[in-house]
Structure 1
């Protein structure tokens, strides 16, 4: 009958109010061109975990070797992990920031001061840009809004629970796929691997997902605010 068994795609849970806001946002931005989207600096945080003993989905083994350490995939109850903040534009990626503590408004403003501003200089020079961020509490705090006003940086309004609209998610996916078979032994080695892999991202890999923004917005409108394939 044409059915096949597949693992469901994981998408954020959206209530009706959030869907309506996504739809309204998409309709407001539907006439933006790819050139206009190239003026946006997209940002996000992502979590990376040490994958102990990850040898891929399958192993070659003989009868009786099921418990051979070479044939096992180890699991760890609380694997070491790091949280990373990054930014990107059509011109490429900015420097990464490894977050050491829970991100409150003060910590986030420190990230903006020491990582976002240098990224803006690197990616835009003296040209104007718009900064994108999600609606995390530290991002939407009054003190953070004041920081942006004091620095004269416009912030793109953004709908909640909308990773499918953020091109930087594609870059996190690229980095994690490239690191699939990496073997970091501790958090410092994990950070070094992330930095090295992030540095290999090309401007073309950044331009492609940003160039898809008009199509992403059209998909949101077609889905009436529901999650899209992106």
Structure 2
């Protein structure tokens, strides 16, 4: 699994999530080092959008985002059509499928996804 936050002018590095993502890992490995600094660069009008995945809605995550002053979009369950990340996943899928030869392993796939798109 990979994770990335993006906006029109900002993008975090692609993060390779290995193993199960818990609320603590989401806070410590993704939000604190990647998402919150990017939101701060974007300015006070920045709003964070994630989905209703269990790690994203853990109490430790909610508390951290509130303490960090991060505004967050409330998100209805099962609303894939509204999420702009789906467009990015489609673009990544096209990139992977157009790569010949195909990635030989997970590490090669991750390296390929690091490139511009």
Output the TM-score relative to the length of structure 2: 0.88
Alpha-carbon distance between aligned partners in 2 of 1:161 and 1:91, rounded to the nearest angstrom: 27
Alignment partner of 1:101 out of 19, 28, 34: 19
How many pairs align?
Answer: 114
Q: Tell me which protein shows more helix as a share of its residues.
A: 2
| Aligned equivalent of 2:95 | 178
8 Å Cα contact 1:131-1:155 kept in structure 2: yes
The structure with higher relative contact order (CA 8 Å, sep 6+) is: 1
Contact 1:96 1:115 in 2 (8 A): no
Which runs of 5 or more structure 2 residues have no equivalent in the other structure?
none
Given candidates 137, 146, 168, the residue that maps to 2:85 is 168
Distance 1:90 1:181, change over 3 A: closer
CA distance in structure 1 between the partners assigned to 2:13 and 2:36 by the alignment: 10
Looking at CA atoms only, which structure, 1 or 2, has the larger radius of gyration? Answer: 1
Q: Which runs of 5+ in 1 are unaligned?
A: 1-82, 201-230
Q: Distance in 2 between matches of 1:102 and 1:188?
A: 18
Q: How far 1:114 moved relative to its partner? A: 1.4
Distance 1:112 1:96 in 2: 13
TM value normalised by structure 1: 0.47
* Alpha-carbon distance between aligned partners in 1 of 2:88 and 2:53, rounded to the nearest angstrom: 20
Contact 1:95–1:119 (Cα < 8 Å) also in 2: no
